Amino acid sequence: MTSPPFGLVRKKNYGNADADEYLEWFRPFAASFKRVLKDNGSLVIDIGGSWIPGQPTRSLYHFQLLIMFCTEYRFYLAQDFYWWNPAKLPTPAEWVTVRRIRVKDAINCVWWLSPTPWPKADNRRVLQPYSDSMKDLLKNGYKPMKRPSGHDISEKFSRNNGAAIPPNLIALAHTESNSRYLRFCKEQGIDPHPARFPAEIPEYFVRMLTDPTDLVIDPFAGSCVTGEVCERLGRKWVCIDLVEEYLKGALGRFEEDARNAEQETLDESDESNYYKIPRPGILWNGDRGAPLPKDGGKKRKLVR
């Protein structure tokens, strides 16, 4: 379970490779992952995309990485997940807020790979609350019928199983600002890792894909979020990072008061635990009037 340095156009201070060099840089890691992973184990990679320098088009490096894993190292793509961060800023600003020719990039890909088509997994460990419409259906009943798509919806569809199977879209805002980890880093005069993922990302997959006492490895551990999650869930874990400073900061996750702190209990009825996306057409009340730029926005012009 890992989130490697992304192949970003703009260099970060945590050692990311250029997008066009990324595959070569990743090959030794891919070979090592295949060597140490159990036959029924899983490899989960959270990876963000990047943009081609100087133009509003996307790099394909994270898709090429996926293809490399499957064709050269004989991994199987068990499923592709997408992490939507509702708190993501509207970037890249030049294309999104200045020229207004792209929408904000708020999705990370999460590739779930395995050496076998049958890795051990159980989605009942990551269920989510029923939607209001499903609650109404369970309350009022459902008449079995065949949908226009040809799918035959049987009476089993209206069985109350207590919770819903989640989709492969993970909606999770990334707004950490005052955690125990950050306070520890500040007290120790340590620069915190600049690209931490929220704990619920590794927890989702650790819960679904591993049993207690299984070993979880994060080879690009950064601040050791994965290790903190595994410690709490009773999994064995190993976290690795090249930057010693990040590992020193990660110690704050495993201090006695941090280990003894109660895990936050989320309230199913709390609306702040839900994220909603407006339907696209809510504000479609006719055209804006201004014609689209024939050059596709190539000439820089401030659009309000």
What is the Cα–Cα distance from 190 to 47, expressed in whole angstroms?
A: 25
Q: How many CB atoms lie within 10 A of CB 135?
A: 13
Sign of the four-CA dihedral 61, 67, 73, 77: positive
What is the Cα–Cα distance from 302 to 100, expressed in whole angstroms?
A: 9
Buried b (16+ CB within 10 A) or exposed e, 35-61: eebeeebbbbbbbbbbbeeeebeebeb
| Structural contact between residues 222 and 14, judged by C-beta atoms closer than 8 angstroms | yes
Catalytic residue among 3, 42, 50, 114: 3
What is the Cα–Cα distance from 247 to 223, expressed in whole angstroms?
A: 6
| Structural contact between residues 235 and 215, judged by C-beta atoms closer than 8 angstroms | yes
Beta pairing class for 236-239 and 43-47:
unpaired
Torsion-angle region of 185 (φ positive above 0: left; ψ -120 to 50: alpha; else: beta): alpha
Radius of gyration of the chain (CA): 22
**Half-sphere CA count of 13, side-chain side, radius 13 A:** 6
Catalytic residue among 42, 46, 105, 218: 46
3 catalytic, yes or no? Answer: yes
The residues assigned a catalytic role are 3-4, 46
